[in-house]
Amino acid sequence: MSNPDQPLLPPPAGANAPLDRMVAEIRRSAGTNLLGLLLLLLGLFTVFSILLPGAFLQRGTMQAMMFQLPELGLLSLAMAIPLVSGGLNLAIIATANQAALLMAWILTTQMPPDAAGGDVWLWISIALSAGFLLCVLIGLVTGFIVAVIGVHPILVTLGTQTLITGISIWLTRGQTLSGFPDALIRISNETIAGIPISFGIFAIVALGVHILLTRSVLGIEIHMIGSNLESTRFSGVDTRRVQIWVYVLSSLLCWLAAIVMMARFNSAGADIAQSYLLITILAAILGGIDPYGGFGRVTGLVVALLILQTISSGFNLLGFSQHLTLALWGFTLIAVMAAKRFTSAMLARYRSASFQRPK
Amino acid sequence: MRKLLAPVFNRSESSLAVVIIVVVLIFSVSSPYFLTLSNTADLIESYSVTTILAAGVFVVLVSGGIDISFAAVASVTQFIAAMAATKYGVPAFPAIALACALGALMGCVNALLTYYLNVVSIIVTIATSSIFYALLIYFTGGSEIYNLPDWWTDRVVFLRFETASGDFARITLPMVIMVLVVVVTHLLMSRTHAGRQIYALGGNPEAASRVGIRILRLQLLVYGYLGFLAGLAGFVQAHRVHQVVPTAMFGTELSVLAVAILGGASLVGGLGSMGGVVLGVLLLAILQNGLNLLGVSPYFFDVVIGLAILISISVTAVTQRRLRAKRGNSELRHE
């Protein structure tokens, strides 16, 4: 977790100075924002606990929240990596659905219905590998058009989104596939030590993406191309390789989301969960990821997801419609952006005031 | 010869026009029904709502923004106008004016938030779109309105031809509104002061504000205009399908955006022309109709659109890069 009071690294000497300062800036940037989001989450918990005594702060409610969070969470991570790199991936839902359809097709039509024991696991691993390869392919193609042909990621993924959904609909004729082995369904309805398996997957993946983005060379390079693609290229980074990695990683997170979604809905189709697309952008921005690229942290995103889930569960318990929840999510995003704008204006005034004091 | 053609072929619109001519020739040879008068008229009418929305989205794209709340705005204004007409008997023109004014107002909300929060407009409009749409479904409960008044649903035919084969081709209200919107948008963007300022804003916002362009006022115009057109598109859509369904327009955001982009409008702003957007719509319409007549499964159509978008943006990117390289060389030569 980041510490908002963590001091800036002293300006180091040597050839790596700009890079080190950049790393320090990345580590520091989420600080104030994260504190605000945590306060908001705490506030929401308090309000719902008072409004719903004995119903909200309960093991069952918390567990229900953990069951609902993973699919949106994994898809938001798939959106977050391109956003940090200064791009966007509008094809995440299409990718996840197509991967789910491929895996579902293998499990429902290719696997013999009387398979048992080890055979089931064999078929599941075949299906998972096929989905994995499909997502790598989609990521490579997207990354190639973005990096090598040099088209804006919004345009590219608008095209791939239409193309991928088109192929899914064409091959399935709009039908859904369902009826998967129990071993797969278990992911989304069983718990280990009170924690749903799907939530465990999400937590491990989120931690992995966090470490990748903040501690690995590729992660720092992703931040750098988000800040300034040209100057990153001139500083000797192969930006094409980084951009291709961004879309491969994003598509692989879609593959994980696809597995969780298959387990949760027990079906796969070309048009499932389309409404999640814009919500993942909403969650990422709420979590403090800079829409212009270059800045953003997984911790902020996770807190933002918890905020959205808390609003949703709280409203559900209060008996409000799910649509009102969506409206409140929109309001929350605007309010948080307004608060951020207000505090940054205040900070700027404070800084210029303290700068003038010594005179 | 090459020099003569250079100004024509360097523009993405002309390459789009060439593609359209080729596609039309192929389809005309392979199907006798393609490009008959009645077929063309039906085709144009079925793309009227998309074209009206794409015109508004085009203006926002030129200004350097992206607005995806238009589908929600169209749904909300459509429903409120329909409520006014059915419950309170509001006559035709006040009801249409109400829809357009409400749309413009909602567009202005987007402009104000974008300007004062200093956030990219795609993020703002994702938030407002969720709010508009969610509140609409919440208050209506997703209910539909079927008993629209006659003035709304009656087909208005301005002209009617009888073709040689005995079919009728009609010039209908949606087509007339669509043509008006295209002409007005074209004039706004190419012949007015405000239009030039919108290009300037999209090309370089910093420079635009330095030369004294009032950005807030311009953004209110741009987003308000899209909202206005969304109100109009909502009206036309209900006119065509004879009912108001809150979820009918939902999910069309990305396809309208794709149409505007296919026609050469750039996401970076400052580029594109209304003519290009019309060509983009034309290409999609012709492809859909031609594939239909050839008996290709309608399920395959999205695959074709996706490929068309990917090819078009890739070709545009490559030609623009080559153009820039050429310009760089000639500038060097001058020095």
Q: What is the pLDDT of residue A102?
A: 92
Q: What is the pLDDT of residue A23?
A: 59
Q: Does A338 touch chain B (CB under 8 A)?
A: yes
The CA distance from A225 to A243, in Å, is 8
Residue A125, number of CB atoms within 10 A of its CB: 10
Q: Does A278 touch chain B (CB under 8 A)?
A: yes
For domain A17-356, the CATH architecture is Orthogonal Bundle (1.10)
The label of the residue with tokens 């005179």 reads: A359
DSSP result, A7-27: PPPP---STTHHHHHHHHHHH
Scan residues 90-119 of A and list those with Cβ closer than 8 Å to B. Answer: 90
Chain B residues in contact with A154 by the CB 8 A cut-off are 66, 267
Scan residues 303-322 of B and list those with Cβ closer than 8 Å to A. Answer: 303-307, 309-310, 313-314, 316-318, 321
Q: Are strands A267-268 and B157-162 parallel, antiparallel or unpaired?
A: unpaired
CA distances from A102 to A124, A133, A188, A231 (A): 12, 11, 19, 40
The CA distance from B175 to B171, in Å, is 7
**B12 Cβ partners below 8 Å, 6+ apart?**
B264, B276, B312, B315, B316, B319
B137, B254, B300, B320: best mutation site toward chain A, by most A Cβ within 10 Å? B254
Q: How many interchain CB pairs under 8 A, A with B? A: 131
Residues B221-233 have a mean pLDDT of: 95
Q: B78-81: which pairs have CB atoms within 8 A and are 24 or more residues apart?
A: B78/B231, B78/B234, B78/B235, B78/B237, B78/B238, B78/B244, B78/B249, B79/B136, B79/B140, B79/B145, B79/B244, B79/B246, B81/B231, B81/B234, B81/B235
The CA distance from B245 to B213, in Å, is 41
pLDDT band at B80 (very low <50, low <70, confident <90, very high): very high
* B306 with A327: Cβ contact below 8 A: no
Q: What is the pLDDT of residue A11?
A: 42
Q: Does B296 touch chain A (CB under 8 A)?
A: no
Task: Calculate Rg over the CA atoms of chain B.
Answer: 21
Q: What is the pLDDT of residues A272-293, one digit of tens each?
A: 877 888 889 888 888 888 888 7
Q: What is the pLDDT of residue A355?
A: 59
Q: What is the pLDDT of residue B120?
A: 84
The CA distance from B263 to B275, in Å, is 8
* A145 with B310: Cβ contact below 8 A: yes
Q: What's the DSSP call for residue B145? A: B
- φ, ψ for residue A292, nearest 5 deg: -85, -5
**A1 Cβ partners below 8 Å, 6+ apart?**
A299
Q: Give the chain A residue nearest B310 (alpha carbons).
A: A159
* Of residues B120 and A96, more confidently modeled: A96
Tell me which residue of A337, A91, A43, A80 sits closest to A222, measured CA to CA: A80
Residue B171, number of CB atoms within 10 A of its CB: 17
* Of residues B315 and B199, more confidently modeled: B199
Q: What is the pLDDT of residue B265?
A: 63
Tokens linked to B210: 């330095």
Q: Tell me if B17 is assigned to some domain.
A: no
DSSP result, A290-315: -TTSS---HHHHHHHHHHHHHHHHHH
Q: Tell me if B136 is assigned to some domain.
A: yes
* B310 with A160: Cβ contact below 8 A: yes
Chain B residues in contact with A150 by the CB 8 A cut-off are 317, 321
Q: Which among B127, B316, B317 has the least Cβ separation from residue A330?
A: B127
pLDDT band at B6 (very low <50, low <70, confident <90, very high): very low
Residues B94-117 have a mean pLDDT of: 93
Residues B271-286 have a mean pLDDT of: 84
The CA distance from A48 to B67, in Å, is 34
Q: Which among B135, B301, B302 has the least Cβ separation from residue A327?
A: B135
Q: Does B247 touch chain A (CB under 8 A)?
A: no
- What's the domain range around B43? 29-296
The CA distance from A245 to A326, in Å, is 33
The CA distance from A86 to A284, in Å, is 13
Chain B residues in contact with A282 by the CB 8 A cut-off are 126-127, 130
Residues B196-202 have a mean pLDDT of: 90
- φ, ψ for residue B334, nearest 5 deg: -65, -35
Q: Tell me if B97 is assigned to some domain.
A: yes
Q: Give me the amino acid identity at B90.
A: V
Q: Tell me if B310 is assigned to some domain.
A: no
Kindly report the CA angle at B139 between B136 and B144, in degrees rounded to 5?
A: 75
Tell me which residue of A159, A100, A175 sits closest to A130, measured CA to CA: A100
Residue B267, number of CB atoms within 10 A of its CB: 21
CA distances from B190 to A101, B57, B180, B185 (A): 47, 16, 15, 8
Chain A residues in contact with B79 by the CB 8 A cut-off are none
ipTM of the prediction? 0.81
Chain A residues in contact with B305 by the CB 8 A cut-off are 162-163, 166
Q: Does A179 touch chain B (CB under 8 A)?
A: no
* B306 with A159: Cβ contact below 8 A: yes
DSSP result, B69-131: -HHHHHHHHHHHHHHHHHHS---HHHHHHHHHHHHHHHHHHHHHHHHHHT--HHHHHHHHHHH
The CA distance from A84 to A191, in Å, is 33
Residue B301, number of CB atoms within 10 A of its CB: 18
Residue B192, number of CB atoms within 10 A of its CB: 11
Residue B333 predicted with pLDDT over 60: no
B113, B299, B312: best mutation site toward chain A, by most A Cβ within 10 Å? B299
Q: Are B61 and B269 in contact (CB under 8 A)?
A: yes
A271, A331, A334, A340: best mutation site toward chain B, by most B Cβ within 10 Å? A334
Q: What is the pLDDT of residue B187?
A: 93
Q: What is the pLDDT of residue B10?
A: 45
Residue A32, number of CB atoms within 10 A of its CB: 15
Residue B285 predicted with pLDDT over 90: no
Q: Give the chain A residue nearest B142 (alpha carbons).
A: A323
The CA distance from B54 to B328, in Å, is 34
Q: What is the pLDDT of residue A245?
A: 95
Q: Are A280 and A90 in contact (CB under 8 A)?
A: no
Q: What is the dihedral of CA B232, B234, B239, B242, to 10 degrees?
A: -170
Residues of chain A with pLDDT under 70: 1-32, 351, 354-359
Min Cα separation B302/chain A (Å): 4
pLDDT band at B166 (very low <50, low <70, confident <90, very high): low
* A278 with B130: Cβ contact below 8 A: yes
Q: Give the chain A residue nearest B69 (alpha carbons).
A: A278
Q: Tell me if B235 is assigned to some domain.
A: yes
Tell me which residue of A278, A249, A308 sits closest to B67, measured CA to CA: A278
Q: Tell me if B252 is assigned to some domain.
A: yes
- In the beta sheet, which residues pair with residue A195? A192
CA distances from B130 to A277, B69, B127, B170 (A): 12, 8, 5, 38
Q: Does B258 touch chain A (CB under 8 A)?
A: yes
Q: Does B257 touch chain A (CB under 8 A)?
A: yes
Q: Tell me if B22 is assigned to some domain.
A: no
Q: What's the total number of domains in chain B? A: 1
**DSSP element (H, E) containing A228:** none
* A337 with B304: Cβ contact below 8 A: no
Residue B8 predicted with pLDDT over 50: no
Residue B24 predicted with pLDDT over 70: yes
Q: Does A290 touch chain B (CB under 8 A)?
A: no
Q: Give the chain B residue nearest A161 (alpha carbons).
A: B306
Q: Tell me if B205 is assigned to some domain.
A: yes
Q: What is the pLDDT of residue A4?
A: 43
Q: Does B267 touch chain A (CB under 8 A)?
A: yes
Tell me which residue of A77, A105, A106 sits closest to A92, measured CA to CA: A77
Q: What is the pLDDT of residue B235?
A: 92
As a 3-state breakdown, chain A gives helix, strand, coil percent values, each rounded to 5, of 75, 0, 25
Beta-strand ranges (E) seen in chain A are 177-178, 191-192, 195-196, 267-268
Per-domain residue ranges for chain A? 17-356
Q: Are B225 and B59 in contact (CB under 8 A)?
A: yes
Angle, in degrees to the nearest 10, between helices B193-203 and B48-62: 60
